[in-house]
Amino acid sequence: MVHLGPKKPQARKGSMADVPKELMQQIENFEKIFTVPTETLQAVTKHFISELEKGLSKKGGNIPMIPGWVMDFPTGKESGDFLAIDLGGTNLRVVLVKLGGDRTFDTTQSKYRLPDAMRTTQNPDELWEFIADSLKAFIDEQFPQGISEPIPLGFTFSFPASQNKINEGILQRWTKGFDIPNIENHDVVPMLQKQITKRNIPIEVVALINDTTGTLVASYYTDPETKMGVIFGTGVNGAYYDVCSDIEKLQGKLSDDIPPSAPMAINCEYGSFDNEHVVLPRTKYDITIDEESPRPGQQTFEKMSSGYYLGEILRLALMDMQKQGFIFKNQDLSKFDKPFVMDTSYPARIEEDPFENLEDTDDLFQNEFGINTTVQERKLIRRLSELIGARAARLSVCGIAAICQKRGYKTGHIAADGSVYNRYPGFKEKAANALKDIYGWTQTSLDDYPIKIVPAEDGSGAGAAVIAALAQKRIAEGKSVGIIGA
C-alpha cells in the first residue's frame, strides 16, 4: 500500500528567476526526458492495443489478459445478503453486503489482523482456519439469531492465481511476504470451504475474484456507463468486458450454453506492458530500477507509472545530480543513499508544499535524511517531482485509451481506485488531460470529456458480492461457470 500524506491546498509554483544557470540546465534536461508529448502517448496506445490482442491469442504475450469468468453484466437488480472477504497483506477484511436491487448497496465490515507468523507458517491449514474463525466471529455478531439459508461468499484473493472457472483459484506463487508450503499449484477454494464446513458455518464460496475485476463489476452495478475498472496504486491494472468470440485462447474450451456474443470480464494485468521495450520512453533511471529489481525485464509499464516506484525514480535522479556535483554538496548522504527509502508520499508532499521558499520540503530533507537544501535546490526537486508525477499520470491512461479504442467505446465512465488516483496531487486532472490529448477532444472542461475517469465503488467488497450474486444465479440455472470439464 502506498501511503500518501494529508491533502493541502494546491501549492504556488514560485519563480525560477533565482535558480543559477547550471541548475536551470539540469531542470531543462529533466523536462526533456520526463515530458511525454501527445505523439508518444498515441504511439504507446497503438502498441498497447496490439499487445492486448496478443494476450487474448492462443500464443499469448506479455500482458496475461486473464478471463475472470464473470460472464454476465450486472443488471443493478441483484439483491440479497452476500459476504465478501479480502485477504490482503496485513489484514483480512470481512464484509456483509446488502444489495438493494436498485443499483444501491449497504455494507458492514470488520478487519482481522493477520498474525505476522501466519505468513510463513509451516502448517497450511492455519491460514484457512484463521479465515474461517474470523468469518464465524463476524457471522455470530451480525446474525445473533442464526441464519436460515446459506450465504454466498465472494473471495478476493490478491495473489497470482489461475482460474478455469469462477469458483476456483490455483495459486501460482505467493507474494507480499507469504510463504506457506503445500498451497502453491493447488486450488485455494476447497481449502477454505473445508474449514468453513468443519465449523458448521452456513457459507458457500461461490466466486474467487481479482480486485480490479471487482472494481469493474461493483461500479457497473451502480453505474451502467462503466466501461473499465482501473487501479492506480502500488501497482497498475485494468479490467473490462470483452466478448467470448473475440477471445481466441478460449476457442473450443467453452460449453455450448455460452453464446459467442456472451461477455467475459478480463483482468488484464497490464503492468507487464512493453516488457520488450519497444515503445515506452524509458530514462536511465527507469533502466536502473528495472536492472536492480528482483525481476528484471518484467512489469515495465508498472515500473514507470505506479506508486511503488515514483519516489525511487526521484531519489535516483537526485543522487545522479549529487554525484555530478550540482546539489547536496559536501553532505552526508548515507541515509538517502538507500534504494526505496523514499516512497511515493515524498514527491506528493513536495508537490503540495504551499510555501514560496518550499519550507516543508526543507523540513522533509532535514528531518528524514539530515540533508540541508538551498531554495534553488528545492526548486529543482519540486520541478522534478512534478515531472515524474505528470509522466506517471500521462502514461497510465494509455491502457484506458487502448481498451476503449479496441472495444470501440466513444463515451463512458472509467471507474478508478488506488492510492495514487485518490491522493496524489493533480493526478486526476493530468490523467484526464492526457486522455484528451490522445483523442484530440476539443472540450475545455473535464466534466465534458466523452470518456471520464470517475471514482470507483469498492471492488473487493461490493464487487466480490455482486460477482457472487451473478455466479450463484448461473450455478442455480445450471449454466457453465468455466471451461469445459473444469
Q: Is 6 exposed, middle or buried (0-12, 13-18, 19+ CB in 10 A)?
A: exposed
Secondary structure class of 408 (helix, strand, coil): coil
Terminal Cα-to-Cα distance of the chain (whole angstroms): 34
**Cβ atoms 94, 112 nearer than 8 A:** yes
Domains 1-68+211-455 and 76-209 share a fold: no
**Cβ atoms 394, 36 nearer than 8 A:** yes
Q: Which three cell numbers stand for residue 166?
A: 469462477
**Cβ atoms 346, 424 nearer than 8 A:** no
E-state strands within 261-395: 263-267
- The pTM (predicted TM-score) of the whole model is 0.92
Q: Which three cell numbers stand for residue 279?
A: 515503445
Compute the distance between CA of residue 391 and CA of residue 343 in angstroms, rounded to an integer: 17
Q: In one letter, which amino acid is 368?
A: E
Query: What's 462's DSSP letter?
Result: I
**Cβ atoms 383, 23 nearer than 8 A:** no
Strand partners, 92: 87, 112
CA angle, corner 97, sides to 95 and 101, nearest 5?
170
Compute the distance between CA of residue 381 and CA of residue 345 in angstroms, rounded to an integer: 14
Instruction: Choose the CATH number for 76-209 among 3.30.420.40, 1.20.1730.10, 3.30.230.10, 3.50.50.60.
Output: 3.30.420.40
The mean pLDDT of the chain is 94
pLDDT at 441: 97
Secondary structure of 2-36 in HEC code, one letter for each residue: CCCCCCCCCCCCCCCCCCCHHHHHHHHHHHHHHCC
pLDDT tens digit at each of 486 positions of the chain: 445 554 444 444 567 888 899 999 999 999 999 999 999 999 999 999 999 999 999 999 999 999 999 999 999 999 999 999 999 778 999 999 999 999 999 999 999 999 989 999 999 999 999 999 999 999 999 999 988 899 999 999 988 888 999 999 999 888 888 999 999 999 999 999 999 999 999 999 999 999 999 999 999 999 999 999 999 998 999 999 999 999 999 999 998 889 999 999 999 999 999 999 999 999 999 999 999 998 899 999 999 999 999 999 999 999 999 999 999 999 999 999 999 999 999 999 999 999 999 999 999 999 999 999 999 999 999 999 999 999 999 999 999 999 999 999 999 999 999 999 999 999 999 999 999 999 999 999 999 999 999 999 999 999 999 999 999 999 999 998 888 766
pLDDT at 4: 58
CA distance readout (Å), 1 to 123, 334, 403, 422, 475: 27, 26, 26, 13, 35
Question: Nearest-CA neighbor of 382 among 2, 6, 14, 10?
Answer: 14
Catalytically active residues, by annotation:
158, 173, 211
pLDDT at 486: 62
Four-CA torsion 436, 439, 444, 448, nearest 10 degrees: -90
**Chain centroid, CA 241 distance in Å:** 17
The CATH class, in words, for 1-68+211-455 is: alpha beta
Q: Which three cell numbers stand for residue 282?
A: 524509458
Q: Domain segments of the chain: what residues?
A: 1-68+211-455, 76-209
pLDDT tens digits, one per residue of 48-107 = 999 999 999 999 999 999 999 999 999 999 999 999 999 977 899 999 999 999 999 999
pLDDT at 60: 93
